[in-house]
Amino acid sequence: MAQSPNLFIAQRFRRLRRTPALRELVTETRLSAADFIWPLFVTDVAGADVEISSMPGVSRRTVEGAVRAAEEAARLNIPAVCLFPYTDPALKTPACAEAWNPDNLTNRAIRAIKAAVPEVAVMTDVALDPYNSNGHDGLVRDGVILNDETVEALVRMALVQADCGADILGPSDMMDGRIGAMRDALERAGHKDVAILSYAAKYASAFYGPFRDAVGASGALKGDKKTYQMNPANRAEALRLVARDLDEGADMVMVKPGMPYLDICREVKDAFNVPTFAYQVSGEYAMLKGAILNGWVKDDVVLESLLAFKRAGCDGILTYFAPEAARRLGR
């Protein structure tokens, strides 16, 4: 049993990878169902409550179906759902008035979910695109997306959502000044405890394609969103946006898309140490699901991809995989 002195290795990292128990003991990052916000697409258009072809496994739901999903979230220990409406095209106008109709889809769904499963937090989308005949997140005049006029509309929309019982408002529009305007209006209206999760660093991304199918905005959208959503090349700007939104009264911030922007998640968490979320967006879901369904990768990529968000510093993830991932984690 001659041993060469060359074989004395002080740092054998494999020692702690030898058994499941040892690996478990030194695990640095954990994923749980409590990390998820589950996005739901709601519709009352007859026949539209079907699977979205670019998002296999994800369907639009009726308000009643959204309530059932929220009940499932409660059973799976998923703390929050986020509502996105597929609006009847006949209700979409350039003025977007349906956005602050107290009886619009989202607002009916908020009330129904809070009545049935009050323990599940309801997050909303504050943006005009599902109600806009031109598909943009802002009001448009002569081809220009109007900032301040849009902020006024978003404030009206946010107040009605708060009245209906929304727990978390999610402004996803990227207009300047909307967080401050919303926070101010919420305080004045007595909604002191409504949280704002700002889509602070939202990039102009091609990964949103399937979502626009899901909410029926793809056909309507003329041009792109590059005058309001961020340039994917920028990181310093993301940090300035997060600082700005926190100053204006955001409680939590988001980076979006997710996986291609994990460097931004890490920088935001390190710089501000505030509740930081990322959105694993529709295109990311479609890529992973499509490859799984083709047998090109194993479905283990689902939990691996979500764990990566936690490792990058995120406190939680908006993900269409929420129920599937929660079930896997429970096994």
Give CA–CA dist 97/23, Å, rounded: 55
Is there binding between residue 212 and ligand PBG (CB under 6 A)?
A: yes
Does residue 298 have an active-site annotation? no
Task: Pick the binder of ligand PBG from 198, 282, 305, 319 (CB under 6 A).
Answer: 282
Please state the closest distance from residue 136 (CB atom) to ligand PBG, in A: 9
Residues near 164 by beta carbon (within 8 Å), at least 6 away in sequence: 102, 107, 110, 111, 114
Going by C-alpha positions, the residue among 262, 204, 202 that lies closest to residue 238 is: 202
Q: Distance between CA 188 and CA 180 in Å, rounded?
A: 12
What is the helix, strand, coil percentage profile of the chain, to 5?
45, 20, 35
Residue (of 182, 176, 316, 203) closest to 250 by Cα position = 182
Identify which range of 124-132, 143-151, 267-275, 293-301 contacts ligand PBG by CB under 6 A: 124-132
175 DSSP assignment: -
Number of residues that bind ligand PBG (CB under 6 A): 12
Annotated active-site residue 269? The verdict is: no
Instruction: State the minimum distance, in angstroms, from the CB of residue 129 to ligand PBG.
Output: 5
281 binds ligand PBG (CB under 6 A): yes
Q: Least Å distance between CB 124 and ligand PBG?
A: 11
CB nearer ligand PBG, residue 62 or residue 150:
150
Using CB under 6 A, pick the residue from 129, 213, 245, 267 that binds ligand PBG.
129
194 binds ligand PBG (CB under 6 A): no
Which of 49, 72, 125, 167 binds ligand PBG (CB under 6 A)? It is 125
Q: Specify the 3-state DSSP secondary structure of 138.
A: coil
Q: Choosing from 92, 114, 225, 256, which is the catalytic residue?
A: 256
Query: Which one among 100, 203, 208, 228 touches ligand PBG, defined by CB under 6 A?
Result: 208
148-177 binders of ligand PBG (CB under 6 A): 172-173
Nearest approach, Cβ of residue 173 and ligand PBG (Å): 6
Residue 137 binds to ligand PBG (criterion: CB under 6 A): yes
Question: Which positions ≥6 away from 329 have C-beta within 8 Å?
Answer: 31, 32, 33, 303
Long-range CB pairs of 2-9 (<8 Å, 24+ gap) are none
Judged by CB under 6 A, the stretch of 16-24, 99-107, 121-129, 154-162 that binds ligand PBG is: 121-129
Kind and range of the H or E run holding 105: helix 105-116
Q: What is the DSSP letter of 228?
A: T
| 211 forms part of the interface with ligand PBG (CB under 6 A) | yes
Residue 237 carries which DSSP code? Answer: H
Question: At what angle are helices 147-163 and 178-188 packed, to 10 degrees?
Answer: 40
43 DSSP β-pair partners: 86
CB of 49 to ligand PBG, least distance (A): 18
Contact pattern from residue 238 through residue 277 relative to ligand PBG, giving x for each residue in contact according to CB under 6 A and a dash for the rest: ----------------------------------------
Instruction: Report the 10 Å Cβ neighbour count for 237.
Output: 13
Closer residue to ligand PBG in complex, CB, 137/167: 137
Tokens linked to 29: 């990052």
Catalytic residues: 202, 256
Chain positions contacting ligand PBG, by CB under 6 A: 125, 127, 129, 137, 172-173, 208, 211-212, 225, 281-282
